[in-house]
Structure 1
Amino acid sequence: MSDRWPSLLRTAYLLTGSHHDAEDLAQGALATAYAKWGRVRRSDDVAAYVRQIMVHQHIDRFRRRTVREWLTDRLPHSPVADETARVVEHGVLLAALAALPARQRAAVVLCYFEDMTHAQVAAVLGTRTGTVRGQISRALARLRENGALADAVGRQPHPEPRTETTR
């Protein structure tokens, strides 16, 4: 657990967008893995099995939760301007990821932030490789269209493709 904790916490943070929710999610996944240790131990890749538990728990939490709580270290009536572009880009990226549907977000996080292949992502999500490719493609299209994300990285958002009809 201690060897995998930083990786699990990073993945959970990218899935949830909150340090507090990420810790809860990673701890919940480890607790579930402990309770099912006999099955987990027999798997080919224990870390992938635990990540799979974590992704499924996140998707389940996302479905059940109707009101989101956002914990912050700043009071709402005293905004503090952040001068560093990196922090701004980080926040914009997290907001853009949060706007994606849960399964698309999970596919993007596992593929691009955890450096997993499409086959590995499919195994974690319990779906086919083609489905993962489709989810990633749709997620990347939505991220490209995100104006705030485009502004943060200094480019124009991709316009919607126009279809011209011939007469």
Structure 2
Amino acid sequence: MNTADTEEFERFVRVSSPGLLRTAWLLCGDSHRAEEMVQESLERVYLRWGRVRRGGQPLAYTRRVLININTDRWRRSHKEVLTYDGSIDETPAVGGGWIEDRDQVIRLLRLLPPREREVVVLRHYADVSERDVADMLQISVGTVKSSASRGLSTLRAALSEQESQS
């Protein structure tokens, strides 16, 4: 890679890393694992930077790599343990509002199967279009819609139950 490409990639990393880290954290629920996933994603993108940059969608490509890494790790372990150690500074935006209790976000996302969690995080946190989510996850737009609907329904029911217990 030449100097200009390296500088462009470094700018991309500076601009996109915070959002990628928040997305990874919402996908896996562990800040250390999220950092590892982002690092691995950026390493993979760096190796293909010329092609990725020419494709015009480096952030979308990097998100897809991040999702693949998360899926691969989930498949290898066959289980997920979601935790939060308080190390991510910014409160994630969910559904247009700010959630103050990040533990609650992880507890709620833990209720969703991995595919529904990926769809909900990408659609309603990262604000990715249905078509782009379908392309990233290699599923149909209909599957994105039904997964998002089921995931949001589960989250609403859990929130209603929590509120009624309070």
TM-score (norm. length: structure 2): 0.74
Q: Which has the larger radius of gyration?
A: 1
Instruction: Name the SS for the 2:21 alignment partner.
Output: helix
TM-superposed deviation, 1:12: 0.7
TM-superposed deviation, 1:121: 1.3
User: Which residue of 65, 72, 78 corresponds with 1:60?
Assistant: 72
Q: Where in structure 2 are there 5+ consecutive unaligned residues?
A: 1-12, 87-98
Residue of structure 1 equivalent to 2:160:
150
User: Which residue of 149, 152, 161 corresponds with 1:137?
Assistant: 149
| Mapping for residues 1-12 of structure 1, pairs under 5 Å | 1-12=13-24
TM-superposed deviation, 1:124: 1.6
Q: Is the counterpart of residue 112 in structure 1 residue 130 in structure 2?
A: no
Residue of structure 2 equivalent to 1:42:
54
Seen in structure 2, the aligned counterparts of structure 1 residues 86 and 138 have a Cα distance that, compared at 3 Å, is same
Root mean square deviation of aligned Cα: 2.4
Residue of structure 2 equivalent to 1:77:
none
**1:30-62 Cα shifts (integer Å, max 9, x gaps):** 111112224322323110000011011101111
Provide the aligned length of Structure 1 versus Structure 2: 141
Q: Is the counterpart of residue 22 in structure 1 residue 38 in structure 2?
A: no
TM-superposed deviation, 1:13: 0.9
Considering fraction of residues, name the structure with more helix: 2
What CA distance in whole angstroms lies between the structure 1 residues aligned with 2:85 and 2:134?
A: 36
Q: Sequence identity, in percent?
A: 36
What CA distance in whole angstroms lies between the structure 2 residues aligned with 1:72 and 1:144?
A: 22
What CA distance in whole angstroms lies between the structure 2 residues aligned with 1:72 and 1:138?
A: 25
2:41 touches 2:66 (CA, 8 Å); kept in 1? Answer: yes
Q: Where in structure 1 are there 5+ consecutive unaligned residues?
A: 75-84, 157-167
Residue of structure 1 equivalent to 2:100:
86
The AA in structure 2 aligned to 1:143 is L
